[in-house]
Amino acid sequence: MHVMTMPIDPLADLAAVEAKIEAASGARPLAFAYPFGFHCDETEALLRARGYLLALTCENRVDAVAPGEGLLTLGRFNRSANLGREEFFALLGIK
């Protein structure tokens, strides 16, 4: 989500999705995955204001997080549905 190019009201859109998640699960979402990994300072501020604790980008990386650091731009490793768990971990050098 990039606030500056969104054709809709991002706050209203996010609130609507949160309401659906809460209705289905009984819990308010605290984690967010940026669509296609796109994010900016405005989206981080919006998520922080909505009470999110962490958010994932699409950047393939391991994050070293120190106490007190923000968790709204964490990297993640995307895995194709065609790639098994063992193969995926082997590509990362994990046995």
The two structure tokens encoding residue 76: 């993640």
Task: Supply the pLDDT for residue 1.
Answer: 47
The pTM of the full predicted model, rounded to 2 decimals, is 0.74
Give CA–CA dist 65/12, Å, rounded: 31
What span, in angstroms and rounded, lies between the C-alpha atoms of 4 and 30? 23
**Residues 3-37: tens digit of each pLDDT:** 555 557 888 888 999 999 999 999 999 999 998 87
Q: What H or E segment, with its residue span, contains residue 1?
A: none
Residues 50-72 have pLDDT tens digits of: 999 999 998 988 888 888 888 99
User: Tokens representing 12?
Assistant: 């209203």
Mean pLDDT confidence for 70-93: 89
* Phi then psi dihedrals of residue 31, to 5 deg: -120, 150
Phi, then psi, of 25 in degrees rounded to 5? -110, -20
Taking only the tens place, the pLDDT of each residue in 38-52 is 888 888 999 999 999
Between 6 and 83, the higher pLDDT residue: 83
